[in-house]
Chain A
Amino acid sequence: MKIHEYQAKDILRKYGVPVPEGEMVTSLEDADHAAKALFSAGNAVVVVKAQIHAGGRGKGGGVKVTKTLDDANTASKAILGMQLVTHQTGPQGQKVQRLLIEAGSAIDRELYLGIVLDRATSKLTFMASQAGGMEIEEVAAENPDAIYKEAVEPALGMQPWQARNLAFKLGLAGPQINQAVSFMLGLYKAFVETDCSLLEINPFITTKDGKLAALDCKINFDDNAMFRHKDLKELRDVAEEDPLEVEASKDSLNYIKLDGSIACMVNGAGLAMATMDIIQYSGGSPANFLDVGGGANQQQIEAAFAILLADKNVKAIFINIFGGILRVDVLATAVVAAARNLNVTLPLILRLEGTNVEEGRKILAESGLKYSVGETMAEAAKLAVEAAKV
């Protein structure tokens, strides 16, 4: 689960990590009030920042540095409601519905801090780099030695010496060392106590008067751990997610929208990915990833159909089921009912295998439903690609 920058900064504040003063607003009126308050408090600079879940907001024109209230209001007007296009939003962009009005900082250096799971060692890794403000992926690709790392022992947690190591490598000195240690230990604590899957401070800045601050912050949570964080669950902003994906999540369906024309409905994540792959291999393009899971019931199958049909790019539906726990006859009954209830007219291509497959085929054959059957995955994929071309 992703959250906004202002929400992430609220979490950092709770863990004693310094962040610039600021306020989230959803109207121009509130934006004006917030900017006025910051200027009157003696801030020379106020920054207007679009709050969307995608990165690259600055380059897309979603962040403006202003020195007067008029400029701040002009910036708010330009940004609030805009379709912000960044390298992460896709060409259609994302509508800006929230702004963060924040006190500007007198930046001296821009650095980077991040915590991720290192899958090679199954430990959390604390990363630091002097190349702040850049995408860490680019730094990793071009100059991996520029990223300093400390592996954290899970039973002990991040240790002060590890934070000191990173602080000195970042070129910090004097009182900044201890400040940085407390900053990093705060980040680590926030990460484990809120079950993050990713925490990035980019840039992590030093100011001209020698202080440290998190100028930007990105936090993703581990979806699997949200059962123990009812408060954090409420930070979800469904306006930032694809509407069809939000719909799917209500029925516990694992759905990800893509831009192709062949919808797929599959049981199991690996087979669902493989089904997308074979569609492309056969010359078509998948419209989505959809794993209906091992215990899908009639209601979920119907909900899944409704979601696939709501995607206007879809020209054919490919159902690939390898019955294990999910019995093929149960699936077939659900497909027949859903296709009838929703009046499915698109070509339907089925590939069924596994538990109770004969019973399942019989149910389909007797249903009067129009569909084609591929005996193998390859044959079914070919049929789906041909059907989508018509």
Chain B
Amino acid sequence: MSVLVDNNTRLIVQGITGREGTYHAKSCAEYSKQFGNVIVVGGVTPGKGGTVHEGWPVFNTVEEAVKATGANATMIFVPPPFAADGILEAVAAKLELVVCITEGIPVLDMVKAWTVVKDSKSVLIGPNCPGVISPGKAKIGIMPGRIHKEGNVGIVSRSGTLTYEAVHQLTQRGIGQSTAIGIGGDPVIGTRHIDAIRMLNEDPQTEAIVMIGEIGGTNEEAAAEYIKAHVKKPVVGFIAGQTAPPGRRMGHAGAIISGGEGTAESKMAAMAAAGIHVVKSPAEIGEAMARVLGL
């Protein structure tokens, strides 16, 4: 099964004619092609509609692109000042999945956009995220495909490279992944830990879950409560930023301990209390998963 992205995903890329958009549209297409899937069906760049870019039809609006290609998902590479607008356009076109890679969107733009996104049927991943990959099927995002291996462990994480690290540790031990979801490092994001965990919990392919969080906010605590009440699958957890000083933004806009909220200790304690196997060292994620799976 896997979640969010699979053999049926038909993806458009908003900002496909830009450097990043082009590079990653190609990399998603190449990854998915190995498994016989055509994932990318076109792109959107306002003003360049009617042209063809790298073999893909380009449209002026998302609505046109959806009508012409039957797309059900989008990957957004629009620059930060216009990215929230891009998300709203994708939601208005009723795309099922909206993955926003863009980093640096003003928080208040996302606060406004979220009021519309939350009441829509679209699932927003990100912004400021690496995207989603279902190994052996398809990917939407900027992650290196070849470190992944198809299998039964679902991953949810706020970070990019730290997720690659976790995936690598699993793959090295022969443990494959069902879907890896990078939910993003911003304070306002579409899909939170709790939403991703719920999806992975309901996915028959996923037998165990890796949950990676970081300092800032209380979304890990909320997910831990959900796990305690609803999740029977084993969960391995790690929180980044155990040594981060309070009041400082650690790279990600959302990675900040403020108002006494968002410490690593609080998150690790909530996760441990929920029965999650919490590791203190990021190097022990793969090992811990191997242990809980009895490998």
Q: How far is the CA of A381 from the CA of B284 in the complex (A)?
A: 13
The answer to whether B142 and A271 touch across the interface, beta carbons within 8 angstroms, is no
In the complex, B104 has a CB within 8 A of chain A: yes
On whether A155 and B241 interact (CB within 8 A), knowing A256-B250, A270-B185, A324-B144, the answer reads no
Q: Please determine whether A322 and B164 come into contact, CB atoms closer than 8 angstroms.
A: yes
Do residues B243 and A322 form an inter-chain contact, with CB atoms below 8 A? no
* Most central of A119, A136, A198 by chain B CB within 10 Å: A119
Question: A123 to B164, Cβ gap below 8 A?
Answer: no
Q: Is the CB of A124 within 8 A of B222?
A: no
Interface membership of A254, Cβ < 8 A: yes
**Are B187 and A269 interface neighbours, CB within 8 A?**
no
CA distance A192 to B112 in the complex (A): 11
**Contact at A270–B283, with CB atoms within 8 Å?**
no
A 265-301 binary contact with B (CB < 8 Å = 1; else 0)? 0111111111111111100011001010010000000
Given contacts A119-B219, A224-B253, A322-B164, contact A276 B107 (CB under 8 A): no
Contact check, A270 vs B218: say whether CB atoms are below 8 A apart: no
**Do the beta carbons of A271 and B144 come within 8 Å of each other?**
no
Interface size bracket, A side: 35 or more
Q: Which of A222, A268, A322, A325 contacts B107 (CB 8 A)?
A: A222
Interface size class of B (residues with CB under 8 A): 35 or more
Q: Is the interface of B mostly helix, strand, loop or mixed?
A: loop
Q: Is the CB of B241 within 8 A of A273?
A: yes
Across-interface contacts of A122 in B (CB, < 8 A):
110-111, 114, 118, 188
CB of A289 within 8 A of CB of B242, answer: no
Q: Is B282's CB under 8 angstroms from A278's CB?
A: yes
CA distance A285 to B238 in the complex (A): 19
B107-A273 in contact (CB<8A): no
User: Which segment of B35-43, B64-72, B152-160 sits at the interface?
Assistant: B152-160
B159 touches A378 (CB 8 A): no
B255-A273 in contact (CB<8A): yes
A162 at the interface (CB under 8 A from B): no
Say whether B108 contacts A192, CB under 8 Å: yes
A22 at the binding interface (Cβ < 8 Å)? no
Q: Which residues of A contact B106 (CB under 8 A)?
A: 195, 222, 224-225, 228
Stretch in contact with the other chain, from B7-15, B85-93, B209-217, B227-235: B209-217
Q: CB of B80 within 8 A of chain A?
A: yes
A97 close to chain B: CB less than 8 A: no
Q: Does B164 lie within 8 Å of A377, measured CB to CB? A: no
Enumerate B190-245 residues with CB–CB distance to A below 8 Å. 212, 214-219, 222, 238, 240-245
When distances are taken between beta carbons in the complex, the residues of chain B under 8 Å from A256 are 245, 248, 250
A274 touches B251 (CB 8 A): no
B241 x A277 contact (CB < 8 A): yes
- Provide the residues of chain B in CB contact with A291, threshold 8 Å: 251
Q: Which residues of B contact A258 (CB under 8 A)?
A: 243, 245
Decide yes or no whether B269 CB sits under 8 A from chain A. no
Complex contact B240–A274 (CB within 8 A): yes
- Choose from B112, B218, B250 the contact partner of A120 (Cβ within 8 Å): B218
Q: Which of A224, A272, A285 contacts B251 (CB 8 A)?
A: A272
Report yes or no: B188 in contact with A273, Cβ–Cβ below 8 A: no
Given contacts A154-B115, A322-B165, A324-B143, contact A268 B160 (CB under 8 A): yes
Say yes or no: is B147 at the interface (Cβ < 8 Å to chain A).
yes
Please state if B187 and A117 are interface contacts (CB–CB under 8 Å): yes
**What 0/1 pattern do residues 240 to 273 of B give for CB contact below 8 A with A?**
1111110110111111001110000000000000
Contact of B283 with A154 in the complex, beta carbons under 8 Å: no
Contact B259 A116 (CB under 8 A): yes
In the bound complex, CA of A137 to CA of B247 (Å): 12
The reply to whether the CB of B274 lies closer than 8 angstroms to some CB of chain A is no
B166 to chain A, nearest CB (A): 10
Looking at B130, B159, B162, which has the most chain A CB atoms within 10 Å of its CB?
A: B162
Out of B115, B147, B212, B219, name the residue touching A155 (CB < 8 Å): B115
A270 & B281 in contact (Cβ 8 Å cutoff): no
A355 in the interface (beta carbon within 8 A):
yes
Q: Which residue of A lies closest to B215 (CB)?
A: A273
What 0/1 readout, one digit per residue, does chain A (169-203) give for beta carbons within 8 Å of chain B? Answer: 00000000000000000000000100101100000
Q: Is the CB of B108 within 8 A of A225?
A: yes
20 pairs, A vs B, C-beta closer than 8 Å: A122-B110, A122-B188, A155-B115, A223-B253, A224-B80, A224-B253, A227-B80, A266-B161, A270-B240, A270-B251, A273-B162, A274-B238, A278-B283, A279-B243, A280-B243, A281-B281, A322-B164, A325-B142, A353-B168, A354-B147
Task: Please give 16 more A-B residue pairs, beta carbons under 8 A apart, in addition to A141-B260, A289-B248, A324-B160.
Answer: A117-B107, A119-B216, A119-B217, A120-B222, A122-B114, A154-B108, A268-B251, A272-B251, A278-B281, A280-B242, A285-B243, A289-B251, A324-B130, A324-B143, A324-B164, A377-B283
Q: Give me the 10 closest cross-chain CB pairs, A-B, nearest first.
A: A270-B159, A269-B251, A268-B161, A270-B162, A225-B106, A378-B283, A274-B282, A273-B240, A271-B161, A119-B217
